[in-house]
Every structure is written in C-alpha cells, then in structure tokens.
C-alpha cells in the first residue's frame, strides 16, 4: 500500500493498480471517508491526492497482471507453524501462489519484482515456476527490491530513502530489467541512492539489515539489566556510547522488547538459513538476539510481580499501549501481547488502552497467544478501556507498553487520584518523567534504571 501509493504520487505518468483478493481490504482502500485498512502517518494524504488519478485499488488480479509491465509481489511471508523448519523458516506459500498466478495469466513479457522479505535465493524458485508455466514468446525477468521502512515513518522513509536496493541477475536482460525499475525510482530518488547489486545479495541484505537492527536493541536491553542491578542509568549509558561515531545513537533505546512483523521473523529466517548451510555457530549467534528479547519481556514481568509484593493475583493492572510501537496500529509480535499473557497466568485483572489498535485485533491476538483460554475466560480477566485515564481507574499499577506521546502528556495527577495506593508505574519505554511522577506520589520503576544510592553511603 504505502510503497505503491508513493510511486503513484511521484510518478503521475505511471498507472499504479494495487490488487488484493480480500474484498473488504479493497473496499477500505476505496472508502469515501478514507478509512484505510492500515494506519500510517501521511498515508491518507498521499491516497487522497492520487486515488482515481493514477492510483487504483481492485480485486481484478488477472486484469491487473495482463495490463502491467512491472509486477510487485508483496505478499505475506509468515514464519512456518508446522512441517520442516517450523518456528524458523519463512512460509513461502503465498509467494508461490502469486508467482503461479502471474505465469498462468500473463500473455506478454513482464518484470516481476520481489518486494516481500524472503529467504536468500527465493527468486530462483520464482523463476523456475515462471519459466515452467509461461506461455509462448513470454519472458519474465526477476528483480529483488526489498523495503527498508519503519512503521510509523514509512511514508517519510519512502519519500526520502537512505537507499533503494535493486537486485538482478547479472545478465543483459537482468540488467535491462534493473534499469527499468531504476527509472521509476529516479523520478524522485537521487541516482546515487539507488544501489544495484546481484539478486542474492539483495535478498540477503534485507535479512541482514533487520538482524543488525534487532541485535542493537537486544544489546542495549541486555545492558539495561546490568544498569538496574548496579544503579546505572541506561539513558546515560546509551547517550555516552552513541556519541562514538563508529556506533551512533540510533536503535540504542532500551525497552520492554522489540516487536513488529519483520525483526523476529527475519532473524529466525536467518537462523534457519544458517542451519541449512551447516553453520551452527552462526545460527546460535543470531538465535541469541531473539532469546534476549524474550528474556527482557520475562524480566520486566517478574519485576512487576516482585514490586507488587510478590503477587498480582486479583490486582488490577492498566496496560497503556498494545501496538508494537507508536504511530502504528500493528500488533504483530508486540511486547504487550506477551505481557498480558504473563499477567493472565498470574491471575491479574488487566485493562488495556491503545489509541489505534482495533478491539477485535486485541481479542484475536490474545486468543492466539493463550490457546488454552477461551475468549469468555480471557474477557473475565481482560477488558479494553476507551481512554488511558479510564484504564487506570482503580488500578494498582500502570504499565507503559507502547511509547505513544499521549501517555507522556496524560494528567498524571488525575491518574494518581483514581488509582489504589500505593500507586505503581512501570515505564517500559523510557517515556515518562520519573521525577515528576515521584513528586505526585507514584512509585516509579523505569526500565534500565536501578535504585539510586543515597548520598553518603559507601559501596
């Protein structure tokens, strides 16, 4: 959605058609009130400017294939839940189905662009399927063009990308196809930011980029545990090491754990790839990034239980935020899901508030993470509030699970007055002014900050 919408915005001479088999999603893209199926800052403005001009949304997949010169394959590639590689390998079922549909439908030559995050050498499988099923005098060129977008800033990332990566076979036809896609991006991206590489390098670069970013988060989260044990401040530590030009400040913000559709999935994919290539030490190295992320969530939960006098049974806890990060409604692999599951197991009463996540999505996520609970049982322990303040009424503790700005701007004095005492706040996102909340009367626990040592005490 966002990628093709921005292409339509910047290339008014190119007709862009987004197709999906899901009629409800296409209806949402075409809705008169622009109630789009995904939330992304700036996306509605782009769609308003382009829809009906050169941007179209349709369920006519075959018609769009016939008409197109360039076909972007942007389908879901979730982690396999069963069979060989379950829990690690990417499920390429949708990629294969899309590829077969293209081969069966196309009657003229096409450039097929792999946009989904896929294992290295997936393009080879796609090419095999296309060539085996293509019609006479029909040729397919395969390109890899992975996206390097952050949810919440995707539109800005597309308008001003660090780089655009295009991988192709290093053959005359492959390079010709690569140049055709380069010309599309060159309408707004400087040529020096358009990187052209081999097909396999492009596929691996996407996995590698996400693995490296997740590694930084797990590294700073590991240091946050040391900070809490020693009395150091993870904000100060991150600021100090981020000043090193070799390291830089980005992705050094400690939290309750990373989430989203890509990081964990891509690292597990890299683990599976390494094991398949008989590189067990490499696999173990990358697996530890995910294990540290899970440890951070368990550690945070344990800190909540220990602070609330070793038990939270029957105690009301407010969870502020359910999306995996601010400025998105995406809950995939959100740390909040794991926290709620842990608190349910401890028999706490949980109230959730998030400004963007649909209630139905919250219930679906909780059913998936807690398969031994029925929805009726979940709703006995979990409720959803219409506002942050209402979520906190009669709570003994407030958890900041997502860094929405509105939580920093809350009337915390009013929150305090509506909570049971002592009133606890657990900041899992380094969002709040701890000193201010302490003055109000809260008992504040911030991730990556240990108890300060009083002046005059020798250690």
Give me the pLDDT at residue 452, please. 55
pLDDT of 459 strictly over 60: no
The catalytic residue among 4, 178, 182, 262 is 262
pLDDT tens for 416-449 read 999 999 999 999 999 999 999 999 999 999 999 9
Task: State yes or no: is 325 an active-site residue.
Answer: no
pLDDT of 91 strictly over 90: no
Give me the pLDDT at residue 17, please. 97
Task: State yes or no: is 392 an active-site residue.
Answer: no
Q: Percentage of the chain surpassing pLDDT 70? A: 98
Give me the pLDDT at residue 232, please. 95
What's the pTM value of the predicted model, to 2 decimals?
Answer: 0.91
pLDDT tens for 97-132 read 999 999 999 999 999 999 987 878 888 899 999 999
Mean pLDDT of 264-270: 93
pLDDT tens for 350-377 read 999 999 999 999 999 999 999 999 999 9
Q: List the alpha helices (DSSP H) in 134-251.
A: 154-159, 172-185, 199-230, 234-242
Backbone angles phi, psi at 325, to 5 degrees: -160, 170
The catalytic residue among 110, 206, 265, 341 is 206
Are β-strands 397-400 and 424-427 bridged in parallel, bridged antiparallel, or unpaired? parallel
pLDDT of 455 strictly over 80: no
User: How many angstroms separate the CA atoms of 439 and 395, rounded?
Assistant: 19
pLDDT of 197 strictly over 60: yes
Task: State yes or no: is 262 an active-site residue.
Answer: yes
Number of H helices and E strands in the chain, helices first, is 19, 13
User: How many angstroms separate the CA atoms of 448 and 77, rounded?
Assistant: 34
pLDDT of 325 strictly over 50: yes
The catalytic residue among 147, 228, 333, 403 is 147
329 Cβ contact partners less than 8 Å away, ≥ 6 residues apart: 38, 39, 323, 356, 357, 358, 361
């Amino acid at each position: 959605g966002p990628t093709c919408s921005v292409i339509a915005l910047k290339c008014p001479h190119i007709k862009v058609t987004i197709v999906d088999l899901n009629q409800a999603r296409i209806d949402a893209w075409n809705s008169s009130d622009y109630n789009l199926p995904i939330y992304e800052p700036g996306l509605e403005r782009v769609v308003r400017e382009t829809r009906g001009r050169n941007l179209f949304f349709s369920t006519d997949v075959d018609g769009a294939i016939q008409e197109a010169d360039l076909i972007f394959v942007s389908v879901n590639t979730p982690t396999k839940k069963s069979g060989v590689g379950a829990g690690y390998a990417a499920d390429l079922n949708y990629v294969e189905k899309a590829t077969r549909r293209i081969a069966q439908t196309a009657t003229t030559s096409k450039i097929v662009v792999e946009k989904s995050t896929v294992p290295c050498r997936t393009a080879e499988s796609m090419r095999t399927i296309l060539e085996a099923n293509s019609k006479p005098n029909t040729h397919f060129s395969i390109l890899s063009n992975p996206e390097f977008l952050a949810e919440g800033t995707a539109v800005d990332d597309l308008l001003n990308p660090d780089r655009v990566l295009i991988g192709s076979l290093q053959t005359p036809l492959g390079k010709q196809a690569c140049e055709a896609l380069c010309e599309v991006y060159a309408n707004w991206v400087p040529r020096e930011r358009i990187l052209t590489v081999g097909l396999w390098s492009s596929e691996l670069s996407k996995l590698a980029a996400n693995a490296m970013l997740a590694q930084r988060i797990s590294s700073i989260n590991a240091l946050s545990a040391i900070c809490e044990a020693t009395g150091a401040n993870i904000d100060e530590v991150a600021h100090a090491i981020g000043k090193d030009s070799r390291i830089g400040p980005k992705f050094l913000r400690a939290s309750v754990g990373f989430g989203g559709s890509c990081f964990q999935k891509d690292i597990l994919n890299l683990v599976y790839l390494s094991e398949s290539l008989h590189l067990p030490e490499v696999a173990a190295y990358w697996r530890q990034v995910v294990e540290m992320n899970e440890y951070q969530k368990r550690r945070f939960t344990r800190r909540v239980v220990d602070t609330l006098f070793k038990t939270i049974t029957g105690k009301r806890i407010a969870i502020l935020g359910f999306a995996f990060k601010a400025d998105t409604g995406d809950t995939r692999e959100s740390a909040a899901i794991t926290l709620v599951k842990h608190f349910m197991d401890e028999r706490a009463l949980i109230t959730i508030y998030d400004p963007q996540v649909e209630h139905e999505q919250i219930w679906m996520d909780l059913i998936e993470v807690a398969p031994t609970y029925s929805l009726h049982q979940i709703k006995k322990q979990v409720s959803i509030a219409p506002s942050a303040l209402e979520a906190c009424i009669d709570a003994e503790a407030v958890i900041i699970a997502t860094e929405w700005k509105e939580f920093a701007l809350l009337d915390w004095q009013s929150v305090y007055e509506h909570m049971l005492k002592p009133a606890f706040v657990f900041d899992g996102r380094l969002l709040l002014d701890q000193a201010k909340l302490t003055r109000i009367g809260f008992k504040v626990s911030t991730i990556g900050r240990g108890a300060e040592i009083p002046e005059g005490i020798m250690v």
